[in-house]
């Protein structure tokens, strides 16, 4: 399971790099076209916004795998190791439930918006909204993989 999580992480990280690079290039092109050539491109702002949505959800998935999400650990740090392990599993299970709800809600959102067309790009609005279930599925996969990860000595002592 950990190996599959690593592969999914690599794909998400690569997609994130591509999305951020394309977004930066499009914004740069907009600046050149607007201020140098005096011919503003009408679609770049919308495209950059949709890239930002995808980058946010893919970035959250990458951060999930790396364990880099914000956490308030003041109570957990003061728990004995046994209680710490139990509460850690309960917290992970809570995250899994929340992500499962986000996947279901995201799929419903994509289905509702598939007939809507974006104003500038003229693409289905389900494409930008698809970032929600995709990002949530990746995070859910990492959270489940973490539960099945073999525990090292340092995991049980902290």
Interval 93-106 mean pLDDT: 96
Rounded-to-integer distance, Cα 101 and Cα 122, Å: 29
Mean pLDDT across the stretch 96-125? 95
Q: How far apart are the first and last CA of the chain?
A: 23
DSSP label at residue 80: -
pLDDT of residue 157: 39
Distance CA 90, CA 96 (A): 10
* Alpha carbon distances (Å) from 97 to 54, 65, 102, 126, 141: 22, 17, 9, 24, 12
Q: pLDDT tens digit string along 127-141?
A: 999 999 999 999 999
Asked if the model's pLDDT at residue 107 lies above 80, the reply is: yes
Answer yes or no: is pLDDT of 85 > 70.
Answer: yes
CA distance 65 to 145: 9
- What does the alpha-carbon distance between residue 138 and residue 13 come to, in Å, rounded to a whole number? 11
Smallest Cα–Cα separation from 5: which of 155, 150, 154, 156?
A: 150
Write the pLDDT tens digit of every residue in 33-59. 999 999 999 999 999 999 999 999 999
Q: Where are the domains of the chain?
A: 2-157
Which pTM does this prediction carry?
0.85
- For 144-153, what is each residue's pLDDT tens digit? 998 887 765 4
Contact 71, 119 (CB under 8 A): no
Residue 156 has pLDDT above 50, yes or no: no
Q: Does the structure show a pLDDT above 70 at 32?
A: yes
Q: How large a percentage of the chain has pLDDT more than 70?
A: 94
């Amino acid at each position: 399971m950990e190996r599959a999580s690593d592969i999914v992480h690599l794909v998400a990280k690569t997609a994130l790099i591509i999305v951020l690079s394309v977004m930066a290039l499009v914004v740069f092109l907009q600046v050149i076209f607007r201020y140098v050539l005096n011919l503003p491109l009408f679609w770049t702002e919308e495209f950059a916004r949709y890239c930002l949505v995808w980058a946010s959800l893919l970035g959250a998935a990458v951060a999930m795998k790396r364990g880099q999400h914000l956490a308030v650990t003041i109570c957990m740090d003061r728990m004995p190791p046994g209680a710490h392990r139990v509460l850690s599993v309960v917290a992970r299970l809570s995250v899994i439930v929340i992500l499962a709800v986000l996947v279901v809600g995201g799929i419903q959102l994509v289905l509702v918006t598939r007939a809507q067309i974006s104003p500038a790009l003229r693409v289905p609005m389900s494409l930008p909204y698809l970032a929600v279930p995709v990002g949530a599925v990746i995070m859910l996969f990492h959270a489940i993989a973490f539960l099945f990860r073999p525990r090292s000595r340092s995991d049980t002592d902290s």
